[in-house]
Amino acid sequence: MAWGRVLRRRSKALKPIITVSSSTIMERGTGGGSGGAGEATAAGDVETEEALQELGEPLSPGARLFHAPLMNCCIIAIIGSKTKIDVDSIMDGLKNSLIKHPRFCSKLVIDSKKGKKPSWVRTRVNLDNHITIPDLDPGMDSPDQFVEDYVSDLTKIPMDISKPLWEVHLLNVKTSDAEAIIILKMHHSLGDGISLISLLLACTRKASDPEAVPSLPVAKKTSLRKPSRFCRYMITIWLMLNMMWNTLIHSILFLATMLFLKDTDTPIKGAPGTEQNPRRIVHRIVSLDDIKMVKNEMNMTINDVILGITQAGLSRYLNKMYGGDDKAETMVIEERDYLPKNIRLRATLIVNVRPSTEIKDLADMMEKGSDCRWGNAIGYILLPFHIALLNDPLDYLHRSKAVIDRKKLSLEAKLTHYSGKLVLKTLGPEVAAACAYKTVANTTMSFSNVVGPAEEISFYGHQLAYIAPTVYGHPQALTIHFQSHADKMTIVVAVDESIIPDPRRLCDDLVESVGLIKAAIIQRRLRSKDDR
């Protein structure tokens, strides 16, 4: 379908269609009233807004936390399409799936006069108020820069609480990685990463089978010989003692961080007010097969390898920041070390605390008693990064595995999850938000890795090239997110440009670290063959 015909067809429903320059969003589409093809009723047989008010559901403690001024966070997912966008297909797909979900057909109601707690209230969804289609110049000079600027401008615009807290932007512009771009923006109170990626994937199908829902990779179980009963008993005792000790140490460090323990002031450490600044979001795509090759060779997990890559990339980037571009060399072994000693640099790692992370039917996720519940079921882990220039890139992997192994034998994530809920319920969201803010602000960055589909997928008939999600609104200047999709891994970097003015160079250092670690693995294999 030609883009010109799409614009003419939707122009009556989308008044005005926004006009966008290469640097800023000039005007947002507001929709065409309460009627039209984009309107859908999501409240069953209820007819009046007054009746809908009676169906209000109080916000969960986690949702209330993400609406506090200090932690008012939003999620943005940049999705590359391998084909031009058919607007009608997207509209029909959203009408038949997304807006039927309770969170996406409810708006936030705060009725402080009557003393009621904030609640989700079902409402009629007019898709024209949620979908923005900019009128683009097909001959623009730099489409990649345009998309980057467009997304950055979106982080400057607060969510409109008079309607459900999500929006979709359709950009029919060809970039270096995709033929068109779909941008999903939603408030973090709607759910955490697992909830939202599950919902997104529930709206997609396998590219090879349009009727099949995509699946997540399944960890292979290793068949090891069972130890004797006495050995199992001793191992259990040892693991329990380790878990108790690690949990105690990590809890003390978490409490100290909330009270006074700050990271070293490096060039990537945020400043007061960072949470209010817009974000510059860039991404790079690397081969997931390369990461799996490293994982298998080192007998590690994907998380171990990703953390090692991030430590190597950040070390290279910070060394250039401290040394200056004219002093930085290309290879790690040839670089002069300009890094200060004993840098304390930690990331807040968001952890899913649900028993299961499989993609489930959304009705089951909302059902009471289901193991996989919708919402914000997350805990926090403080993850120390080793910032140094190491001659052997594989040493970054060994150090990352040692850190993650200790974190696995700890209840830190569950402890922070349940203690956060306790503070929310007893002292209120303001106190909980202040505690969370202080803890996050005393660390340097956010870090996360969400497992994506194991095969190529399509979004309402549009085969996807990549998925690049991130979050903003928290008091850190740097967020690094890894998102897998089929045989690709997308590295997403979101920065406060007033602190980190060159996120593309940081992305390049992360990608180069993947290559250095892969080359080290190949050299290791060659040495093993020579030794034989």
- What sections of 360-502 are H helices per DSSP? 362-366, 394-408, 412-427, 429-441
As a whole number of angstroms, the distance between CA 518 and CA 431 comes to 46
As a whole number of angstroms, the distance between CA 90 and CA 462 comes to 9
**H/E/C letters for each residue in 241-275?**
HHHHHHHHHHHHHHHHHHHCCCCCCCCCCCCCCHH
48 within 8 A of 155, measured Cβ to Cβ = no
How far out from the chain centre does Cα 332 lie? 29
Pick from 71, 328, 347, 378: nearest CA to 197: 378
Pick from 175, 205, 190: nearest CA to 89: 205
Cross-strand pairs, 20? 25
Pick from 47, 166, 157: nearest CA to 105: 166
Pick from 155, 186, 261, 192: nearest CA to 496: 155
Which of helix, strand or coil describes residue 192? coil
Give the start-end residues of each E strand in 151-233. 166-171, 180-187, 204-206
Cα angle: 62, vertex 66, 69; to 5 degrees: 140
159 within 8 A of 55, measured Cβ to Cβ = no
Query: CA Rg, the chain, in Å?
Result: 24
Give the start-end residues of each E strand in 243-377. 280-287, 345-352
For the annotated catalytic residues, the residue numbers are 188
As a whole number of angstroms, the distance between CA 84 and CA 138 comes to 12
Contacts of 304 (CB under 8 A, 6+ apart): 295, 298, 397, 400, 401, 404
As a whole number of angstroms, the distance between CA 483 and CA 340 comes to 31
Q: For residue 119, what are the CA distances in angstroms to 64, 354, 418, 463, 511?
A: 9, 24, 22, 36, 43
Residue 425 region by backbone torsions, left for phi larger than 0, else alpha for psi between -120 and 50, else beta: alpha
What DSSP designation does 124 have? -
Which of helix, strand or coil describes residue 19? strand
